[in-house]
Amino acid sequence: MQFNFVKFTDTTTSYAASVTIRATGQMGFSAGAQNLYGISGYDYCILYFDPEKRAVGIELAKENVDGAIPIKKSVSNMHIRAKNFCDKFGIEYSKKHRYRLKKDSQSSLLYFELGEEEEDTEEDGGEIAPTEEEN
């Protein structure tokens, strides 16, 4: 049997992708989500909602198009303002909620399902509170 092994050298890089809806209505992206999906290479997100499956879709965009939300970036934090979106679709944000972020193979949208909340851990890259200037 012959293998085609690829050497793994990113030993300090996370690829565990998650998104956190914060008590402020922001959606914060974990370091794993940023690394796995290359979010830092985009400047905007367009949000979608599937009311039947209670799923949130996220389209990454490089240009400001209709409905685009700017991605706020800093050294320790990457998030979008999503309070209006949460309010419109009845998404609870009075406390933080963390979800596994996945990629849909058909639409290429990133997405998470509201019925699949993850347990909170200390290693949540989307949990660093923004400073006043980041808001």
The whole-number average pLDDT for the span 27-50 is: 93
The whole-number average pLDDT for the span 100-124 is: 84
SS3 string, 35-88, reads: HHHCHHHCCEEEEEEECCCCEEEEEEECCCCCCCEECEECCCCEEEECHHHHHH
Percent share of the chain, pLDDT over 70: 87
pLDDT digits (tens, 9 = 90+) for 47-96: 999 999 999 999 999 999 999 999 999 877 899 999 999 999 999 999 99
Instruction: Report whether pLDDT(33) > 80.
Output: yes
Give the model's confidence band at 12: pLDDT under 50 very low, under 70 low, under 90 confident, else very high.
low
The whole-number average pLDDT for the span 88-115 is: 94
Query: pTM for the complete prediction?
Result: 0.80
Give the model's confidence band at 13: pLDDT under 50 very low, under 70 low, under 90 confident, else very high.
low
CA-to-CA distance for 39 and 46, rounded, in angstroms? 13
> How confident is the model at residue 118, as a pLDDT?
87
Which residues, 6 or more positions from 62, have their beta carbon under 8 angstroms from its beta carbon? 41, 42, 43, 44
Percent share of the chain, pLDDT over 90: 66
Question: What does each C-alpha distance from 70 to 3, 59, 61, 110 come to in angstroms?
Answer: 43, 12, 9, 16
Tokens representing 5 are 């092994």
